Amino acid sequence: MEIVKAGSDNVFDMGPLTCCYPMGTWGYRVRGQ
Amino acid sequence: MGASPIPVFLLLIMIPSRFNIIVEDYPSPGQNLLFNTRTQALIRIDHRFRDCLKALPGSLDGPSDPRLKENLAGLLRNGVVSEGARQEQDKLDDFFRQLKAGSGSFPFEVTVLTTYACNFRCVYCFEESVKRNLSMDERTADASVSWIEGQVEKRGIKRLFVVFYGGEPLLNTRPIYSISRRLRDWTAGRDVDFAFSMITNGSLLSPALVDDLLPLGLDSVRVSVDGDREAHDAHRPFADGRPTFDIVMGNIKAVADRVPVSIVGNFDRESFPLIPPFLDYLEAEGLLKKLKHIDFLPIAPRLGPRANPGAIELNECLSSFGKEGMFDEVLAVKKEIARRGRRALSGLGVNACSLIIEGAGVTIDPLGDIYACNALLGYPEFSVGKVSKEELNGRLGELGGHDAWKKCPADCPYVPMCQGGCRFFSFVENRDFSSLVCKRGYFDRIIPELIKLEYENSRAA
């Protein structure tokens, strides 16, 4: 077994956060990046 | 993950998370990718491990694969297993509590419309019914700055980011200068990071303008280009019908070495085939690798006339996001971009709606009206405040305070990512902001592919 990416219970730790996921309609702004 | 002693009784109650998505036989036969939509953990396991996981809860003898027992602590930490349905629901409730509360570590992003006027006549313009010859005057620009400063002080914000937008923002540059100058000077003395960007059609972009704005805090420019000349000019002509591709691309080339430039465009089924040739063009011009970001997304529906926003326009675009939606095209765009040596974000993420998150970004229009969603710009009944008043008007709760995720089916694994769907789409489909907007059919088709892309990105990093 391999952990490719560790997860988090903290919503704002994981990325990316994007408006209107996953449609990305206005999601060009990827928060925190 | 490391071996860790697990009390025997936990083996009897541990269950796989309801938010696990398993992509089988990838990256190779016998291997599987497991992605958890609540924690965003991504792990690679073989078939035997996968089957033991699915067979939980176990027995006193433990799972038949000792690796599962050895790694249970890590699987729990990453949300792949839970101590029962009740505990997992508690974690989900906490997820939404966090989301709604917001985070002080994120920048406060304020979009400022310098004007509703535009020199283009894009066929799908989402501001079709609200654009007009109305520009932000200096009094409103001043009031906007005072409002922003008030928010930064009241909330102890450490990072402020402004995006100038429109209409076409470069038709009225005076507020870009005055607002950025004032905010640059004000934040400098207060240990607050400040920067700004612009979203523009590119027709008025110039080296002289960029050189003027860089010292005021300009850190990037985003230009809308919809594909090669044929696709772009069909979608995005000047208001008098003249083509714009050559002018826009000429301006992008002229500034690309001075400021980071992103290109974002819109497509429909007809124009999508013209994106790869556009990528070839960008490569040949030496631009593709220089760009900060590049992406293309399906055209979306828009609100109706100002007197009747519920008369939704471009309704046919809704099908792009349905069971037979344009997921193949969205994926193909990402793969085409990656194939040319640019790392494309997989697209996996968590919905961060500014109608839902406390203290999230807002948009200020040329009248000084405040909106919390760009799709609702220009319709005063959807405004959530005014820059002349420190407090918002209370309407935000009517738009975003419905906890739509509570209406999601219990067996849907996408709840943390989708959260009951987009509130704007709720209005488009149901003329209210409280409905469940379920795109599970679209997700079922696209999410496994995005998980594979996420895995490939991790290999390339």
Q: Which residues of A touch B39 (CB under 8 A)?
A: 7-9, 14
Mean pLDDT (whole number) for B432-458: 91
B1, B142, B166, B181, B220 from B175: Cα distances, Å: 53, 9, 12, 9, 17
Edge to edge, the sheet with strand B350-351 lists A30-31, A17-18, B350-351
Helix (H) or strand (E) holding B36: strand B31-36
**Best CA proximity match to B246, nearest among B291, B285, B193:** B285
Q: At B57, is the pLDDT very low, low, confident or very high (cuts 50, 70, 90)?
A: confident
Convert the pLDDT of each residue in B272-307 to its tens digit. 999 999 999 999 999 999 999 898 888 888 899 999
| Chain A: residue whose CA lies nearest to B198 | A29
Residue A28 has pLDDT above 50, yes or no: no
DSSP labels for B120-156?
B--TT-TTTTT--S-B--HHHHHHHHHHHHHHHHHHT
The angle formed by the CA atoms of residues B379, B381 and B386, to the nearest 5 degrees, is 85
pLDDT at B63: 60
A2-6, A18-22, B91-95 — which is least confidently predicted?
A: A18-22
For the stretch B7-10, contacts whose Cβ atoms lie closer than 8 Å and that sit 24 or more positions apart, written own/partner, are B8/B60, B8/B62, B10/B72, B10/B83
Mean pLDDT score of chain B: 92
The pTM assigned to this predicted structure is 0.92
pLDDT at B6: 64
What residues 365-394 of chain B have any CB closer than 8 A to a CB of chain A? 373-375
Q: At A15, is the pLDDT very low, low, confident or very high (cuts 50, 70, 90)?
A: low
Residue B1 has pLDDT above 70, yes or no: no
Q: Which residues of B touch A4 (CB under 8 A)?
A: 33, 42-44, 454-455, 458
A5-9, B55-59, B89-93, B213-217 — which is least confidently predicted?
A: B55-59
The angle formed by the CA atoms of residues B448, B450 and B453, to the nearest 5 degrees, is 115
Burial class (CB in 10 A: 0-12, 13-18, 19+), B324: exposed
Q: Which residues, including other chains, have CB under 8 Å from residue B13's CB and lie 6 or more apart? A: B57, B83, B84
Q: Which residues, including other chains, have CB under 8 Å from residue B240's CB and lie 6 or more apart? A: none
Tell me whether residues B351 and A18 touch, CB distance under 8 A: yes
Highest mean pLDDT out of B99-103, B363-367, B436-440:
B363-367
Residue A10 C-alpha, separation from nearest chain B C-alpha, in angstroms: 7
